[in-house]
Amino acid sequence: MGRDMNRRSARGNRVGLLAVGLLLMIVGLAALAAGRGVLGPDLAGEAIAGTRVRELLDQRWVPYAAVAVAFLSGFLALRWLLVQGMNDTVGRVVLDHGPGGRVEMSESVARGALEQEVAEYPGVRRARARLTESSEAPHLRLALLLEEDADVTRVWERVRSEALANLGEALDLERIPTVIRMSVAAPARVPRRGLV
């Protein structure tokens, strides 16, 4: 379900950007054609807000159309912003399912156990995890904040061989696609001594 939502969101972004780009390109090409005289010499020599434009803007329906377009544009822009802020974390992870029902585990329980295990490794200051994509085939995003003197290779090996193996066993999954982001904590600042 999460993967489908992400795909729909990405597809919607592409279609929306394509539509806006095409509209702007058409308006730009029309303006260029009018300025070059392709649409007639009278239009090329006329001011942008010339007689024809003023006559068009004086029509009774123009303000209503402008308000409708503004509302529609605002609604679509707001919807797009809300979709961008959606979280792709799954709420529950399916452990087993069959004709009799499903066995599920809260994502926060699995995530919390993993974070606690990894945070106890030497050199790890903080661990943050998220299970994403799908409740039946979750992906893992793991962000680690390491101490300045941490053995990065050793931490990575332990996460891969121990923490991910334990998570896979708990969720009854042979494979969990994982992205691990490691950053090193900034060194402690030494306070400056004032001049005596």
Question: Are 79 and 96 members of one domain?
Answer: no
Q: pLDDT value at position 62?
A: 81
Same domain, 29 and 103: no
- Mean pLDDT value of segment 125-142: 86
Distance of CA 115 to the CA centre of its chain: 23
What CA dihedral angle connects 143, 145, 149 and 153, to 10 degrees?
Answer: -10
47: closest CA among 55, 35, 57, 59?
Answer: 35
Question: How much is the mean pLDDT over the chain?
Answer: 80
Give the pLDDT score at 10: 67
Per-residue model confidence (pLDDT) at position 132 = 83
- Residue 154: the pLDDT is 93
Q: Which of 84, 116, 137 is the last residue before a domain boundary?
A: 84
Tally of structural domains, the chain: 2
Return the biggest CA–CA distance within the chain: 83
pLDDT exceeds 70 at position 1: no
149, two tokens: 């003197």
Say whether both 96 and 79 belong to one domain. Answer: no
Task: Output the pLDDT for position 7.
Answer: 59
pLDDT at residue 2, rounded to an integer: 47
8 confidence band (pLDDT: 50, 70, 90): low
| Cβ burial 69-105 (10 Å sphere, 16+ → b, else e) | eeeeeeeeeeeeeeeeeeebbbebbbeeeeeeeeeeb
State the average pLDDT over residues 59-70.
Answer: 87
